[in-house]
Structure 1
Amino acid sequence: MSSYTSLLKTRGVARIIAAQLTARFPFGMLSLAFLLHIEHTYDSYGVAGLVLAALSIGQAIAGPLTSRLMGVWGMRRVILLTMIICSFAISAIALLPLPIPAAMSVAFVAGLTMPPIQPAVRTIYPKMVNSKQLTPLFSLDASAQEIIWVLGPVITTFVSIQIGTVWGILLAVAFLVGGGIWFLTSPELGRVRIPRSKRKLGAVLKKPPVLLATIVGFLLVATCAAIEAGVVATFGEGGAQAGIVLAIFAIGSLVGGLSLGHKPIGPWALARRMAIVFVGTAVAAASLNIWWLAITLFIAGIGIAPALAVMFAIVSVSVRFSDTAEAYGWVGTGQLIGAAVGSALAGFLIDGVGAIGAFVVAAALALLGFLVPLLGKRFHPDLRGRDASPIPDTEPVQLTG
C-alpha cells in the first residue's frame, strides 16, 4: 500500500484520477440505466439489449478515431465537442418517446460521441510519474475505477426505482458534463501534447500485445455485461438486491486490484487473472440465490482490475508514445464491442430461458477470456524488472551553427 500512498502524493496524480473517474462515472450507470428504462418502456430485455448494442457499437467505431484526432486537434477540443453532442443524445433517449429504430439510432450517436477520457488519461500517465511508478499507477487506476462499478449500479438502481428511469439517465448526463468540465480544466491536459501519429489508422493492431489486450478486453467486458444483465433479470426492478450484488462484484475487483497491483507482470499474468474471473463466474451459474451470487461474483471480481492493469501495461510498453492514444482507443473498442455482445446475448437468452441463461453466457465468455491469453502467452511481454513506459518517438533533430 505504501507504493499507492507515494503515487497519490505525486503532483497532480490524485487530482487527475478523481477528475477522470468522475467524467467516466456514466460508464457505470448508462448500461443499467438504459436497460431499466428501455425494458420499462418496451417491456423487453431483447429490445434493451439492441439499444445497448447500438450505443456500444457507436463507441467502438469512435474509440480509435477520436483518440487519433486528439493528436491532430488536441485533447481539450476533441473532448469538449464530443461531450456536448453526447450529452444531448443521451438526454434525448430519456426525454423523447422514440420508436425502437430511432432509439437505436440516437444511442448509436451517443456512443459515437462518447468523450475519449480513458485514452487521454492513459496517455497522460507516463508523463506524470517515473518509470518505476507507472505499472503501480495503472493498477491503482484500474482499482479506483471500480468505484464507478460499485457506486454506479447502486445509484442508478436507487434513482431509477425510487424516482424514475428518466432521472437515472439524466443523472448520468450530469456526471458526464460535470466530470468532463473538471477533467478539461485539469492543468495536466495543457502540459501533455500527443504527437501526430505518422502511421496508418489501425497499424497498432499489428503489435501482438495490443491485439491480445483488445481481444481479452472484449471477452472480459462481455462477461461483465452478461453478468450485469443476469443479476438485474434475477432480482427485477422492485428492490435494491441487484444493485447490492453488482456492488459486491465490483468490490471484489477493487480488492483484487489493490492486492495484486504490486505483483510483477510475467508472461502468465493475464491468463492467471482471467482464470480467477472464469472460476467465479462458472460457479455463480449454479444458483440464483442472492448470497451465492454475492460470494461467487466477489471471487470473479478479484481478477477483473488486475487483468485490466496488465492489459494497460502491455499496451504501453509495446507502442510509441504518439500511438498510445489510438492503441488504448482500440482496446476500448474491444471492450465496448464486448459490452454490446454480452448485453445482447444475455438479453435474448433471458427472454428465452430466464435469468440463468445470462450466467451461462457469462461463464462461456469467461472461459474464452482465459484460453486466449493462455494460448497467446508468447505474445505477452515479460515486464518483470522492465520499464512499462511507451517507446519514445524519435525525430530528426536540426542542428544550427
Structure 2
Amino acid sequence: MSAYSSLLRTTGVARIIVAQLVARFPFGMLSLAFLLHVEQVTGSYAAAGLVLAASSVGQALAGPLTSRWMGVWGMRPVLILTVIVCAISVTTVAQVEMSVPWYMGFSFLAGLSTPPIQPAVRTIYPKMVNSKQLTPLFSLDASAQEIIWVLGPVITTFISTQVGTQWGILTAVVIMAIGGTWFIASPEVGRVRIPRSKRKIGQVLKRPPVLLATVVGFLLIGACSALEVGVVATFGHSGLEAGIVLGILSLGSLAGGLALGHIGIGPWALSRRMFIVFAGTTVACFFDGAVSLSIVLFVAGIGIAPALTVLFAMVSSSVKFSDTAEAYGWMGTGQLIGAALGSAVAGVLIDSNGAIGAFWAASALAFVGFLVPLLGKRWHPDLRGRDASPIPDTEPIQVLTS
C-alpha cells in the first residue's frame, strides 16, 4: 500500500484520478439503465440487448478516431464536442418513446460520441509520474475504476426501480456533464500535448502486444457484459438484488486490483488472471440466489482489475508516446465490441433458454479469454523489473560534417 500512498502524494495524481472517475461514472450506469429502460418499454431482453449492442458498436468505431483527433486538434476541443453530442443523444433515449430501430440509432450515436476520457488519461499518466510508479498507477486506476461498477449498478437500479427508468438515464447525463467539465478543466489536460502520429490509422495493431491486449480485452469485457445481462434477467427490475450482485462483482475486482497491483507482470500474468475470471464465471452457472451468486461473482471479479492492469501496461510499454492514445482507443474498441457481442448473445440466449443462457455465454467468452494469452505467451512482454513507459518519440538529427 506504500506504493499507492506515494502515488497519491504526487502532485495532481489524486485530482486527475478522481476527475476522470467522475467523468467516466455515467458509463457504469448507462448500459444497465438502457437495459432496464428498453426492456420495460419493449418487453424484450433481446431488443434491449440489441440497443446495448448498437451503443457498443458506436463506441467501438469512435475509439481509435477520437483518440487520433486528440493528437490533431488537442484534447479539450475533442472532449468538449463529444460530451455535448453524447449528452443530447442519451437524453433523447430517455425522454422519447420510439421503436427499437430508433432506440438503436440514438444509442449508436451516443456510443459514437462517447468522450475519449480513458485514452486521454492513460496518455497523461506517463507524464505525471516516474517510470517506477507507472505500473502501480495503472493498477490503482484499474482498481479505482471499479468504484464506478460498484456504485453505478446500485444507483441505477435504485433510481430506475423507485423513481423511473428514464430517471436512471437522466441521472447519468447530469453526472456526465459535471464530470466531463471537471476533467476538461483539469490543468493536466491542457498541459499534455499528444504528438501527431506519423503512422496510418490501424498500424499500431501490427504490434503483437497491442493486438493481444485488444483481443483479450474484447473477451474479458464480453464476459462481463453477458454476466450483467444475466444477473438482471435472474432478478428482474423490481428490486435492488441485480444492482447489489453486480456491485459485489466489481467489489471483488477492486479487491483483486489492490491486492495484486504490486506484483511484477511476467509472461504468464494475463492467463493466470483470466483463469480466475473464467473459474468464477463458470461456477456462477450453478447458482441463482442473490447470496450464492454474490460470493462466486466476487471470486470472478478478483481477476478483472488485475487483468486490465496487465493490458494497460502491455500497451504502454509497446508503443511510441505519439501512438499511445490510438493504441488505447483500439483496446477500448475491442472491449466495446466484446460488450456488444456479450450483451446481444446473452439477450438472445435468455429469450430462448432463460437467464442461465447469459451465464453460459459469459463462461465461454471467459474461457477463450484465458486460452488466448496462454497460447500467445510469446507476445506477452515480461515487465518484471522493466519500465512500462511508452517508447519515446525520436526525430532524425542532422549532423554537419566538415
- So what's the TM-score if we normalise by structure 2? 0.98
Q: CA deviation at 1:289?
A: 1.7
Give the distance between the partners of 1:292 and 1:195, measured in 2 at CA. Answer: 50
Partner SS for 1:388 = coil
Superimposed CA distance per residue, residues 214-261 of structure 1 (whole angstroms, 9 cap, x where no aligned partner): 000000000000101111110111111111111110000000000000
Q: CA deviation at 1:396?
A: 3.5
Within 5 A, what are the aligned runs for 1:118-137? 118-137=118-137
Aligned residue type for 1:272: R
1:74 aligns with 2:74: yes
Partner SS for 2:366 = helix
Partner SS for 1:205 = helix
Within 5 A, what are the aligned runs for 1:21-32? 21-32=21-32
Q: Which residue of 1 aligns with 2:240?
A: 240
Q: CA deviation at 1:398?
A: 6.8
Aligned residue type for 1:120: A
Q: CA deviation at 1:57?
A: 0.2
Root-mean-square deviation over aligned CA pairs:
1.0
Q: CA deviation at 1:27?
A: 1.3
Aligned residue type for 2:265: I
Give the distance between the partners of 1:318 and 1:137, measured in 2 at CA. Answer: 17
Partner SS for 1:389 = coil
Q: Which residue of 1 aligns with 2:312?
A: 312
Q: CA deviation at 1:101?
A: 1.1
Q: CA deviation at 1:356?
A: 0.7
Q: CA deviation at 1:183?
A: 0.2
Partner SS for 2:244 = helix
Give the distance between the partners of 2:111 and 2:243, measured in 1 at CA. Answer: 24
Aligned residue type for 1:335: Q
Partner SS for 2:98 = coil
Distance 1:182 1:397, change over 3 A: farther
Give the distance between the partners of 1:179 and 1:394, measured in 2 at CA. Answer: 35
Q: Which residue of 2 aligns with 1:355?
A: 355
Q: Which residue of 2 aligns with 1:284?
A: 284
Within 5 A, what are the aligned runs for 1:1-400? 1-397=1-397
Give the distance between the partners of 1:320 and 1:370, measured in 2 at CA. Answer: 28
Aligned residue type for 1:80: I
Give the distance between the partners of 2:337 and 2:20, measured in 1 at CA. Answer: 22
Aligned residue type for 1:77: P
Give the distance between the partners of 1:150 and 1:221, measured in 2 at CA. Answer: 16
Give the distance between the partners of 2:366 and 2:128, measured in 1 at CA. Answer: 34
Aligned-residue sequence identity (percent) comes to 71
Aligned residue type for 1:277: V
Superimposed CA distance per residue, residues 243-296 of structure 1 (whole angstroms, 9 cap, x where no aligned partner): 111111000000000000000000000000000000000001012122211111
Give the distance between the partners of 1:353 and 1:27, measured in 2 at CA. Answer: 29
Give the distance between the partners of 2:389 and 2:398, measured in 1 at CA. Answer: 26
Give the distance between the partners of 1:75 and 1:98, measured in 2 at CA. Answer: 34
Structure 1 residues without counterparts, runs of 5 or longer: none
Give the distance between the partners of 1:268 and 1:357, measured in 2 at CA. Answer: 31
Give the distance between the partners of 2:155 and 2:289, measured in 1 at CA. Answer: 23
Give the distance between the partners of 2:134 and 2:197, measured in 1 at CA. Answer: 23
Give the distance between the partners of 1:168 and 1:256, measured in 2 at CA. Answer: 29
Structure 1 stretches of 4+ with a deviation exceeding 2 A read: 396-400
Partner SS for 2:372 = helix
Q: CA deviation at 1:309?
A: 0.3
Superimposed CA distance per residue, residues 42-79 of structure 1 (whole angstroms, 9 cap, x where no aligned partner): 00000001111110000000000000000000000000
Q: CA deviation at 1:103?
A: 1.1
Q: CA deviation at 1:399?
A: 8.7
Aligned residue type for 2:174: A
Q: CA deviation at 1:97?
A: 1.6
Give the distance between the partners of 2:399 and 2:181, measured in 1 at CA. Answer: 41
- So what's the TM-score if we normalise by structure 1? 0.99
Partner SS for 1:59 = helix
Partner SS for 1:337 = helix
Count of paired positions: 400
Give the distance between the partners of 1:152 and 1:291, measured in 2 at CA. Answer: 20
Structure 2 residues without counterparts, runs of 5 or longer: none
Give the distance between the partners of 2:108 and 2:399, measured in 1 at CA. Answer: 50
Give the distance between the partners of 1:332 and 1:177, measured in 2 at CA. Answer: 22
Give the distance between the partners of 1:385 and 1:80, measured in 2 at CA. Answer: 39
Partner SS for 2:352 = helix
Give the distance between the partners of 2:100 and 2:238, measured in 1 at CA. Answer: 25
Superimposed CA distance per residue, residues 328-378 of structure 1 (whole angstroms, 9 cap, x where no aligned partner): 000000000111000001111111110011111111110000000000000
Aligned residue type for 1:354: G
